[in-house]
Amino acid sequence: MHLREQIEQFFARASEAIRRADPLELGALMTVGQVGEASLYHELSPSGRIEAIHGIVHASGDDELASMTEQAAPLWRQSGFWGGSTPDTDLLCDLALGVNGVLGARLSEPGRIVAICKQEALVPLLERLNGGYYIPRGLPATLVGQVFPCRGVGIVDS
């Protein structure tokens, strides 16, 4: 399968997940997309404190990705590297993904992330983001409390 077909397959998977209202698949695809943006992975304690920071090894370029497609590697699971994330959004996503019930997280624009979570994960998610990011930086905790359902996407019940 060629690179273009693999990319089209990724977008088809995302579109189908949205149509089926499948939060698990959509969350997985969001997280794969975030890994393609991120340059850092934060190893976190259960409380959300940074214990180690690791660089993410990405495919070196389009040639390597094309080679993977020729070997039938599932490209939608390969990280690539677009480099759109920042250390702050990388940390916010890593914090979010460490909460049980968070199904996916990725940057949405500079300095902001979006996460899909189950309703019971909302309070632990807010607490973890506050404790691991906002409070240590002297930022108001009210920033993380801004939960905005977007185009019908909100808190997942199942």
Structure confidence at residue 109 (pLDDT): 77
pLDDT of 94 strictly over 60? yes
Domains identified in the chain and CATH numbers: 3-143 (3.30.70)
Of the candidates 59, 41, 61, the one whose C-alpha atom is nearest the C-alpha of residue 105 is: 41
pLDDT > 70 in the chain, percent:
69
pTM (predicted TM-score): 0.72
- Residue 8 token pair: 């089209």
**Is residue 133 a contact partner of residue 95, using CB atoms and an 8 Å limit?**
yes
Most confident of 22-26, 58-62, 77-81: 22-26
107-155: pLDDT as tens digits? 887 778 888 888 888 889 989 998 999 899 998 877 766 565 444 444 4
